């Protein structure tokens, strides 16, 4: 079953076409990778799905319903969460507080209840803290819950960003270069965490990644972009030997 579908997606910046008529379908409960050389349009594609950019043409559907023209927080509420290529945490807030920010969209208490510290609001805040702690346990950061986010090692910051995304209770989790800057040990731990999220939580995962070892080990389904167009799609074995993919990464002579 397809959970996320884009049809004839186009995005232009001035005279530059960054995403050019892409048709992509992502199967529910699977790990899909979107790969391609630098400048292929991968992050632009993520920005279109999450409402940071509006497409010039095309459709984006989650569970068969359009999410076009929705604001980023509305798309998050409907079930799409993401991490970023450049980590975006609230550096002066604690690890626990960062995850609680992700839980905010599911809290019922409004500003009035928060200011008056109503009993119902206090109870909800306590439940929120408990859920945030559970998510920190899940990603292995519970011992650091009171540390400032900007004091964490790089790999831990990546896991914290994933925990915050999980706090929004997503159906689809977009990971933009999650292994960037990680050492080999951190990368192995990340692979294990992503597998657990798919297997235990049933979340559909779509990742952008340049680490081809990670892509081939994790992915059920791979889509390849080049100059804003889809040039290949398939399982890892098909993509690894595809001449157009080899050409896009290594040059035409390498594909011959």
The more confidently predicted of residues 179 and 118 is 179
How large a percentage of the chain has pLDDT more than 70? 91
What is residue 127's predicted lDDT score, i.e. its pLDDT?
84
What is residue 104's predicted lDDT score, i.e. its pLDDT?
80
Structure-block tokens of residue 230: 């889809």
- pLDDT tens per residue, range 166-216: 999 999 999 999 998 889 999 999 999 999 999 999 999 999 998 888 999
What is residue 91's predicted lDDT score, i.e. its pLDDT?
80
Of 50, 38, 45, give the one whose Cα is nearest residue 82: 50
Place of tokens 């800057």: 181
- pLDDT tens per residue, range 124-175: 778 888 999 999 999 999 999 999 999 999 889 999 999 999 999 999 999 9
Indicate the range of 18-27, 117-126, 188-197 predicted with least confidence.
117-126
What is residue 118's predicted lDDT score, i.e. its pLDDT?
62
Of 196, 231, 184, 161, give the one whose Cα is nearest residue 31: 196
Mean pLDDT within 7-27: 94
What is residue 87's predicted lDDT score, i.e. its pLDDT?
79
Place of tokens 């920010």: 101
Give the torsion sign (CA, 205, 211, 212, 214).
negative
Q: pLDDT category, 119, cuts 50, 70, 90?
A: low
Mean pLDDT within 60-89: 93
* Whether 204 contacts 29, CB under 8 Å: yes
Residue 237, C-beta contacts closer than 8 angstroms, at least 6 positions apart? none
Domain boundaries of the chain, sorted by first residue? 1-79+170-256, 89-169
* Whether 145 contacts 131, CB under 8 Å: no
Pairing of strands 57-62, 2-13: antiparallel
Mean per-residue pLDDT of the chain: 89
User: How far is residue 229's CA from residue 224's CA, in Å, rounded to a whole number?
Assistant: 8
What is residue 248's predicted lDDT score, i.e. its pLDDT?
83
Model-wide pTM > 0.75? yes
What is residue 250's predicted lDDT score, i.e. its pLDDT?
60
What is residue 173's predicted lDDT score, i.e. its pLDDT?
98
The class that CATH gives domain 1-79+170-256 is alpha beta
């Amino acid at each position: 079953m397809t959970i996320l579908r884009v049809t004839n997606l186009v995005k232009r910046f001035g005279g530059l076409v960054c995403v050019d008529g892409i048709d992509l379908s992502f199967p529910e409960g699977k790990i899909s990778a979107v790969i391609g050389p630098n400048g292929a349009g991968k992050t632009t594609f993520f920005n279109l799905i999450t409402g940071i950019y509006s497409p010039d043409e095309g459709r984006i559907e989650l569970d068969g319903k359009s999410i076009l023209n929705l604001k980023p927080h509305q798309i998050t509420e409907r079930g799409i969460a993401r991490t970023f290529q450049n980590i975006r945490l609230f550096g002066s807030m604690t690890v626990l507080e960062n995850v609680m920010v992700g839980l905010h969209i599911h809290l019922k208490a409004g500003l009035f209840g928060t200011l008056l510290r109503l009993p119902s609001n206090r109870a909800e805040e306590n439940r929120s803290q408990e859920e945030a702690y559970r998510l920190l346990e899940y990603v292995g950061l519970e011992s650091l819950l009171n540390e400032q986010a900007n004091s964490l090692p790089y790999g831990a910051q990546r896991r914290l960003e994933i925990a915050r995304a999980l706090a929004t209770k997503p159906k689809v989790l977009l990971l933009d270069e999650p292994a960037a800057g990680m050492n080999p040990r951190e990368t192995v731990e990340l692979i294990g965490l992503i597998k657990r999220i798919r297997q235990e939580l049933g979340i559909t995962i779509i990742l952008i990644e340049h680490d081809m070892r990670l892509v081939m080990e994790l992915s059920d389904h791979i889509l390849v972009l080049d100059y804003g167009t889809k040039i290949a799609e398939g399982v890892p074995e098909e993509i690894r030997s595809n001449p157009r993919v080899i050409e896009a990464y290594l040059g035409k002579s390498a594909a011959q």
